[in-house]
Amino acid sequence: MEVEDSSIKESFENEAKKVIETFIQHHTEWNDETITGLANKIPSDIVSNIYKSNKDYKLIANCVISKKNQINPKVDSISMWEPDKDFCVSVCLDNERYYCVVNLYAVSLN
């Protein structure tokens, strides 16, 4: 069973992509301090931006950033809550230096 309103899931995914793209376009070099900050800032901005427009979900986001020469991330997720209301979105984007993977979990409050 899928989320009743797939447009909500799609809008959450689009917001995550928008935030990730903004950061990876501006941070093309690998710097441990900067990347550590991004791994914190990216999920924080995603959750904050979504929550401003949709307070009907509890949100959890995590972010993994890895150098391209170290691993090739494979991302998948599954949620087992109420499949007609709750969902998880996984987004993986990259630039020439690194991959950025975000998992966003949304649990309906209704």
| Residue 70 domain boundaries | 6-108
CATH of the domain at 96: 3.30.1140.40
Exposed/middle/buried for 43, CB within 10 Å: 0-12, 13-18, 19+? buried
> Which tokens sit at 72?
């090739």
Flag whether 17 is in a domain. yes
Flag whether 1 is in a domain. no
What predicted TM-score, i.e. pTM, was given to this entire model? 0.85
Total domains present in the chain: 1
Q: What is the pLDDT along the chain (110 residues), one digit of tens a residue?
A: 456 668 999 999 999 999 999 999 999 888 889 999 999 999 999 999 999 999 999 999 999 998 888 766 666 665 667 878 888 898 999 998 899 999 999 999 98
Can you tell me the distance from the alpha carbon of 105 to that of 110, in angstroms, rounded to the nearest whole number? Answer: 15
